[in-house]
Amino acid sequence: QLKLVNPSQYRFEHLVTQMKWRLQEGRGEAVYQIGVEDNGLLVGLSEEEMRASLKTLRRMAEKVGADITVLREREVDYDSDVPRKITEVLVRKVPDNQQFLDLRVAVLGNVDSGKSTLLGVLTQGELDNGRGRARLNLFRHLHEIQSGRTSSISFEILGFNSKGEVVNYSDSRTAEEICESSSKMITFIDLAGHHKYLKTTIFGLTSYCPDFAMLVVSANTGIAGTTREHLGLAMALKVPFFIVVSKVDLCSKATVERTVKQLERILKQPGCNKLPLLVNSDDDAVTAAQQFAQSPNITPIFTLSSVSGENLDLLKVFLNILPPLTNSKEQEELMQQLTEFQVDEIYTVPEVGTVVGGTLSSGICREGENLVVGPTDDGKFLRLKVCSIQRNRSACRVLRAGQAATLALGPFDRSLLRKGMVMVSPEMNPTICSVFEAEIVLLFHATTFRKGFQVTVHVGNVRQTAIVEKIHGKDKLRTGEKAVVRFRFIKHPEYLKIGAKLLFREGVTKGIGHVTDLQAITTKDNGLEESLGPAQLSF
């Protein structure tokens, strides 16, 4: 917008309508640049005009129920004697009907690079003492506290209110409070860095479908251990990532620069083909967030310390402005499809019964809805009823496509469920298969890859061992070769979709690809099975 000085009533209404539309497109967020002509010419405004324009923008925001925050101001050289400025303003709507923006960020990096500590500092609002105090609240098992190593996937939340201020556990007691006062939520998925927990990390990346990944590299060790592997995983799954160089308080400036140079060199290699962008100021952070969302080739790099708190604010500014990947139109299209929920975790909660956690990949799920879950070991689907839904630990009536939540299933028998199942609407008639074909690239293999080889296959939330039945057109594969391969699951059939991304591994063997063909087992023949016993029949 060039300037918004004293608009007429009609023009004001028009501007408000435009703002509503922009907020809807950006799912509750929009960035206005004031002092820029529609063709992109940087004209700038004088002090007085800028004040009046911001006042109008405030009035517009109040009208639609949004808040505004000034992101940055800069002066422009325009042939006039008065100094002229451009201002960038973030307009964010207070969420109505619990629809806060929810971004999922997976946290990757080598063991001991400071992933859990950084999350502890961000979400608890207290700096670390240098010996790992900040991460204690994130650990889920006793052995993690004793060894200081994350072995399971934990979720941490960080909120931003509509004014762009951080909402975390320092001023809110519970997760519900954070959700209530935030208009944007960032869910961090804390993954394990240690090599022996690689399968957990892959499961976290494939099944929780993160929007972005944050790769944490320790400044004093540089790129070591699983860092390259995690970088490769993010690239293979096409998850846009940014890099955080942690522990800069431990080493000299020269060491930090060496680590950053090492990262820049790797990112510019032909395999990665990324454009590194080092963030040193608030201005850089704003630019990085906007550029990063528009083009996936840009990789912002932050250098910070969880102990001294140096440059932590830059990361917060970046996360605050980071826009969602899908716009509202794509989400609407997904919501119109039939319901499909991926089961990632299963627990039993006293007095509630069986609870499943996961992501709704399409459709809408409401409380009290009847769905079918499967496939079981013999390829059947069982009926069940959703009793209640929780999202970010607070109750929620309706779940929309792309959101993660936990569903309570009441007295449903837990032993019938496993990770990798799906819950779908009964009219979907889901395709399940034991044999499928995929076009793969072999990333690394010690010898040759041939028929009869067993690998662990990850497709979305499915994780199972499969046997290579046939490699089309070749006897064997070597590192770096492409082929279409037929796999057969050894235990039970799974629900797969054509085009789904696939990762497989076995020892040092690794490969990526996508599913090209399924040999479907029709579920119509064996029909929907009722779960056993009268107590578990719930319609």
Among 267, 300, 325, the domain-final residue is 325
Q: How far is CA 484 from CA 149, 278, 386, 503, 517, in A?
A: 38, 40, 40, 14, 10
Residue 307 shares a structural domain with residue 333: no
* Side-chain-facing half-sphere of 260: CA atoms under 13 Å: 24
The answer to whether residue 534 is domain-embedded is no
pLDDT of residue 24: 80
The answer to whether residue 538 is domain-embedded is no
Give the Cα separation of 68 and 512 in Å (integer): 44
Question: Residue 312 in contact with residue 117, Cβ under 8 Å?
Answer: no
Q: How many other CB atoms sit within 10 Å of the CB of residue 530? A: 12
Q: Where are the alpha helices (DSSP H) in 295-419?
A: 312-321, 328-335
**What proportions of the chain, in percent to the nearest 5, are helix, strand and coil?**
25, 35, 40
Tell me the three state secondary structure of residue 315: helix
DSSP assigned state of 268: H
pLDDT of residue 422: 93
The answer to whether residue 464 is domain-embedded is yes
Tell me the three state secondary structure of residue 434: strand
Residue 161 shares a structural domain with residue 246: yes
Domain of 312, CATH number, reads: 3.40.50.300
Q: Under 8 Å CB-to-CB from 441, ≥6 apart: which residues?
A: 480, 481, 482, 511, 512, 513
Residue 172 shares a structural domain with residue 310: yes
Q: Side chain identity at 102, as an amino acid letter?
A: D
Among 198, 134, 66, smallest CA distance to 506 is for 198
Among 325, 357, 392, the domain-final residue is 325
Phi-psi region of 76 (alpha: psi -120 to 50; beta: other; left: phi over 0): beta
Query: For residue 450, what are the β-bridge partners?
Result: 476
**Which two three-digit tokens encode residue 198?**
């690689």
**Which two three-digit tokens encode residue 246?**
């942690």
Residue 61 shares a structural domain with residue 88: yes
Residue 385 shares a structural domain with residue 448: no
The answer to whether residue 1 is domain-embedded is no
Give the Cα separation of 193 and 107 in Å (integer): 9
Residue 449 shares a structural domain with residue 348: no
Question: Residue 206 in contact with residue 503, Cβ under 8 Å?
Answer: yes
The answer to whether residue 533 is domain-embedded is no
Tell me the three state secondary structure of residue 233: helix
Residue 235 shares a structural domain with residue 110: yes
Domains held by the chain: number? 4
Residue 198 shares a structural domain with residue 335: no
Residue 71 shares a structural domain with residue 203: no
DSSP labels, 139-175: --SHHHHHH----S-EEEEEEE-TTS-EE-TTT-SSH
The answer to whether residue 33 is domain-embedded is yes
Residue 293 shares a structural domain with residue 436: no
Among 37, 66, 93, the domain-final residue is 93
Give the Cα separation of 458 and 95 in Å (integer): 36
Give the Cα separation of 214 and 103 in Å (integer): 12
The answer to whether residue 536 is domain-embedded is no
Domain of 66, CATH number, reads: 3.30.110
Domain of 438, CATH number, reads: 2.40.30.10
Rg of the chain over CA atoms, in angstroms? 25
Residues of 66-86 as b/e, b for ≥16 C-beta within 10 angstroms? bbbbebbeeeeeeeeeeebbb
How confident is the chain (539 residues) per 10-residue block, as mean pLDDT? 82 90 83 86 87 91 88 80 86 68 89 88 84 72 65 82 85 77 87 82 84 93 86 88 94 93 92 91 91 88 93 93 78 87 90 90 92 90 92 82 89 90 88 93 82 91 93 88 94 91 85 91 52 36
Domain range holding 311?
Answer: 101-325
Residue 87 shares a structural domain with residue 17: yes
The answer to whether residue 527 is domain-embedded is no
pLDDT of residue 495: 92
pLDDT of residue 140: 66
Tell me the three state secondary structure of residue 200: helix
- Give helix then strand counts, H and E, for the chain: 11, 31
Write out the E strands in 363-403.
364-366, 370-374, 381-385, 388-391, 394-395, 398-400
Residue 112 shares a structural domain with residue 164: yes
